[in-house]
Structure 1
């Protein structure tokens, strides 16, 4: 099922979305086909209004009746036909509709084939807007916080700075680099469920190394430096600088620092016994779930890509919380062992 969002302004000259259908011509000769698109009520199968594009100014507000496109398909070949979907503000109501494709020989009324695609019309959601503004606030807070703590950061020992740089580079080499390569393969095979595979790198390996670093050097700002270094290396090498990456770094820094501080690792000297490790695992898991939730909403706001609730819940539970909670105890153990020889 596809989704489209009603436009902010009344501008039905621009499509609100697109629908595509694959047409195969198995005949031995080229064929001229007329593809029409009609929006129907999914229950009554009757046409509904609000999806007709208005004609340009000067036509008295008249609208086109139906959306169509003629296409010529070569013999023994296939072609993808894309048609626009228009939504008129104030007329098109949020809900589920049926997009019906009819294929006819050009110049006839005989329907050769028919395909129905269910779509959902969404009103603009305000939650992604507020969360994106909050993410911007987190990014701004990160800059101000690092400027405010610049004296403490500059007081970090050279040995510790080298260790932070080493861990930041290691996170890039062990997480970002293989994760990007594996994602391309996993996404092609599993589609939106590729996070089940890539989560091993982006969540498990990542939090093992990050937690080990914070346990090794338990002070505020250590996680921030490693996160920013890894993000810079990733964006420079893979060309990923974007508003999304900047907001994601800001939120990740704030939530990670808050999680380690709440757990007491960077706040005071605490013994990392079994209960404490479990508390750290749960806290970091919840923090990463929040980071993932914010990322979803920023994507929805910036790129108008909307997700079903069940998919978001599945992602947050498995990749956001479970993978992180499983990785943190290993990171704590690794950090304790490194600290013994540091």
Structure 2
């Protein structure tokens, strides 16, 4: 594929991420601090004409390979979070396996011959993923909802938990309707001893140029035993983080978006400074950085989100988790945090 076609395909995917389509079935909550996004035409033009520097790593991104035996050996009386890359995570919650926003494909794109390509392989092959008790989705964008992944897992997942409207997407990907449960904001449900609550985020949805906001987007609160996990999904900074923190105190681990931000689309992704502010609104114990180090989705250097977040965390005394791809984090267990990217180009 020639350079012009590559640039055009990346621009098309980035526009879906940045937001530039038409209908308005679902809307964000009011935000008095809402910033102005650039027009779709100007975003297009920038992607087509401005060169990128440092947005893709030169050195290999380290990956800790996983296998089924390693996963099965994890303590069944604890809650574990495994970083698969970007916003994809495998959870083992008191012995049962869950997935969050799984993307195993090579590209976050509607096609696999073009679009943002992975920086690193998955730490575990999709064929090796154990049977999944529950799969949680934040929204329908390609870097969070991947057709090939879902079609492969369709009958391997006991139950899917998705924002309102996303169920139809899954049915189109061969998931039986009876396995899907849709949630509006603040709605809760319990499955296999885990309580799930869909909470607001400030984002948008859509997989084509004509279906913007036809499905809902969400963050999630996950209660397993005595421990509580928050997953931000994709979000700009908004007052909802404080509301979530008030309704759900004692969050042990907050998986916070930190990457793919830009001055031209400030309403849908957070800068590292905003991620810190949102984390403090939640009053959570540990900040776990997600949405970086796997796909080239913006103009900032690939290391920048983690560099800035790590510096802020040190200055403000925040317990930060930046796991290596494939690393297992056991909630409540002491760990030393590694700035694994710091010497990479």
**TM-score tier after normalising by the smaller chain length:** under 0.3
Greater percentage in helix: 1
With normalisation by structure 2, the TM-score equals 0.23
With normalisation by structure 1, the TM-score equals 0.23
Structure with more contact order per residue of length (Cα contacts < 8 Å, sep ≥ 6): 2
